[in-house]
Amino acid sequence: MSLFIPPDYFRELQSKEIFGDPARPLEVELGCGDGTFLVGMAGENPDRDFLGIERMLGRVSKTSRKIDRAGLTNAKVMRLESAYTVAWLLPTSSVTRLHLLCPDPWPKKKHAARRLVNQKDFLDGLARILMPGGEFLLKTDDRVYYEDALASFATRSEFVQQEWPEAAFFYPVTDFESHWLEHGRTIHRARWQLIKA
């Protein structure tokens, strides 16, 4: 079943409740949209599990259908809000990589606080759910969002920015990224590793 419904929305999940085997690496994509990236990654990496988080029902259904059509057992999608999922729901020290790809940019100055990377609860949650050595990967077409992220992470000593050269590893282009590339937009990318004892 590719649709994941938490047994309880009001307590931290246990790793085994998501895919069954907590020993397998878990990657999470926030705002997974139509599931292009999630399904591409899960198909290429059968030894890892992939959980997509998405709040729009139509996109959740589309992702779920794609997972089922591809016959993947290592991908699931959950309908929930990203900030809540990171701050409260995902298990502590459980995630090897968390992907945030072409997030809604919230371009108006008065909405800047809505950008996930500007939220203390999100950064605290990220530090909680990533395994030591785990990574947060961001791609955005929005220069201001990118700069906000760089500034925000620079204030957190537990995260260390890593190089991310083009084609460093398999990383499918997302639906929105293809769209922006077709329109000549630059995609900014950055990657941070959690360093904690």
Q: According to the binding rule CB under 6 A, does residue 31 interact with ligand SAM?
A: yes
Q: Which amino acid is at 92?
A: T
Judged by CB, which is closer to ligand SAM: 22, or 189?
189
Q: Are strands 95-101 and 75-79 parallel, antiparallel or unpaired?
A: unpaired
Q: Which residue is nearest to ligand SAM (CB)?
A: 31
Judged by CB, which is closer to ligand SAM: 59, or 97?
59
Shortest distance, position 45 Cβ to ligand SAM, whole Å: 18
Judged by CB, which is closer to ligand SAM: 22, or 172?
172
Q: According to the binding rule CB under 6 A, does residue 142 interact with ligand SAM?
A: no
Shortest distance, position 69 Cβ to ligand SAM, whole Å: 18
Q: How far apart are the first and last CA of the chain?
A: 36
Shortest distance, position 157 Cβ to ligand SAM, whole Å: 27
Q: According to the binding rule CB under 6 A, does residue 174 interact with ligand SAM?
A: yes
Give the x-and-dash track for 98-137 against ligand SAM (CB under 6 A). ---xxxx---------------------------------
Shortest distance, position 84 Cβ to ligand SAM, whole Å: 8
8 is catalytic: no
Interface residue with ligand SAM among 63, 64, 82, 140 (CB under 6 A) is 82
DSSP string, 34-54: TSHHHHHHHHH-TTSEEEEEE
Judged by CB, which is closer to ligand SAM: 4, or 176?
176
Residue 57 in tokens: 């029902």
Largest CA distance in the chain: 44
Interface residues toward ligand SAM, by CB under 6 A: 31-33, 53-56, 59, 81-83, 101-104, 174-177
| Residues labelled as active-site residues | 104
